[in-house]
Amino acid sequence: MQKLLNHRIYVILLTLAFCIGITFWIRSCVYTKEVRAVISPFDVEPGMPVSFADSTQGARHWLWEFGNGESSPLQSGTHIFSESGKYQIRLTVNGELEKKFLVTVRSKVKSDQDEIVRINAPTSALQGEYITFRGEGPSQEWRWEFGESGKVDAHEKNTIYRYELPGQYTVSLRTEETKYPVLHTITIIPQYSDNDSTDVSSIIGNDIKEKLQAIVDQKPFNTNYNYVLKKYLCGDSNTLVVVNNNKKNDFYSYCQGLKIIGRKKVKIENVLVTMEAFEECISKIIVIQTDLE
């Protein structure tokens, strides 16, 4: 009886030992299948180091693939990406266990120190027209001289100015970032003149004036519109039209407006044209017109 009892106890102990061993074996297998690795940071600029490290239990061999054709067999270290983009980093442990990471390498933000101060403004405008002058660049101080008053006219980065007299002016912009002033040339066109000058611009202006008035008077639209478009605008229907110094349209929309108004009798008083240097096509049409009742 005693022997039978001892035998049962022995079997129970063996069974418990077997179960415990199986449990540890299963936990060990599951544990070793978990890759414990880290990447930092996940968001960098080109040239910044990315750290990598692995602490997987039982790891003996490592292969880090960085997604740009480069790799490393080290357990830990750093890697540098030279170009912007998104890179998938893959770690293979002991030739069979894998883990993947995504790193974003964003383009470097351009430093203000690399920029230069510039003037953004038109090269021509109408006498009395309000003109926007924009300063571009990293400066904190802005000193504008528009060449008409002989003194500093404004201190804002972006400012508005209008010329009282026609002519060609040199705009000067000084800042604490520039050794010499930034210069810009602008031509101010007379707003209206009864001058009978027969220069080329006047001849072209008078020709366009006749065609615009013909559209107002309900004469064939396509004939007059296409005449100006092809002869003077190089086919560019988006050429700027400035009306009475305060309204603007592209050429096509302006002519369509004249056609619609029609019998309300708009009188085209004068047409001035602007042509850029060395260009054959008109870049701006300035129209002085009167809306009659």
For residue 185, CA distances in Å to 120, 170, 172, 195, 278 come to: 11, 5, 9, 25, 16
| Spatial contact of 112 and 96, defined as CB atoms under 8 Å apart | no
Superfamily name with CATH number, domain 112-189:
Immunoglobulins (2.60.40.10)
User: What token pair was written down for 118?
Assistant: 């510039």
- Helical (H) or strand (E) element with 101: strand 97-105
Give, as one character, the DSSP assignment of residue 68.
S
Confidence (pLDDT) at 228: 93
Whether the pTM exceeds 0.75: the reply is no
> Per residue in 107-158, pLDDT tens?
876 554 557 889 998 888 888 888 889 999 888 899 999 999 889 999 999 8
Query: Hey, which residues does 1 pair with through a beta bridge?
Result: none
What does the pLDDT average to over 256-274?
A: 81
Confidence (pLDDT) at 18: 65
| Spatial contact of 157 and 138, defined as CB atoms under 8 Å apart | no
Mean pLDDT, the chain, rounded, equals: 83
Backbone angles phi, psi at 46, to 5 degrees: -55, 135
Among 17-21, 39-43, 218-222, the least confident range? 17-21
Query: Hey, which residues does 167 pair with through a beta bridge?
Result: 188
Cα 222 from Cα 292, distance rounded (Å): 24
| Spatial contact of 100 and 89, defined as CB atoms under 8 Å apart | yes
Q: Any idea which architecture 200-291 has in CATH?
A: Roll (3.10)
Query: Is the sign of the CA dihedral 196, 197, 199, 205 positive or negative?
Result: negative
Per-residue burial over 5-22, b if 16 or more Cβ lie within 10 Å, else e, is eeeeeeeeeeeeeeeeee
Residues 6+ apart with CB under 8 A from 2: none
Confidence (pLDDT) at 197: 43
> Per residue in 157-204, pLDDT tens?
988 898 988 889 999 999 988 889 999 999 888 865 444 444 677 788
What does the pLDDT average to over 86-93?
A: 91
What does the pLDDT average to over 58-77?
A: 91
Quick count: other Cβ atoms within 10 Å of Cβ 280? 8
Q: Is 250 left (phi over 0), alpha (psi -120 to 50) or beta?
A: beta
What does the pLDDT average to over 45-63?
A: 90
**CATH topology assigned to domain 37-105:** Immunoglobulin-like (2.60.40)
